Amino acid sequence: MTIHDYLYADATGLPVDSYDEEDVEVLTDEVYQHVWRAYPKLPSPVYAHWNG
């Protein structure tokens, strides 16, 4: 819900003239899947090389 609310909010979300509710649902799922894969634990092993 947090990802969806962020993408749909007026202040932080996607431009309403470019994305409809279905687009927001698809993108919400894609963001969630990315976070799930990239952060199986903290710190993220995917981004470990960026931490120096």
CA–CA distances in Å: residue 6 to residues 9, 22, 24, 36, 50: 5, 15, 10, 17, 26
Quote the pLDDT of residue 13. Answer: 92
The domain limits of the chain are 2-37
CA–CA distances in Å: residue 26 to residues 4, 8, 33, 37: 10, 12, 11, 17
Quote the pLDDT of residue 52. Answer: 55
pLDDT digit string, tens, across residues 2-51? 999 999 999 999 998 999 999 999 999 999 999 999 999 888 888 877 65
Q: What is the pTM of this model?
A: 0.77
Quote the pLDDT of residue 42. Answer: 85
What is the rounded distance in angstroms from the CA atom of residue 12 to the CA atom of residue 38? 23
Quote the pLDDT of residue 27. Answer: 96
Quote the pLDDT of residue 44. Answer: 86
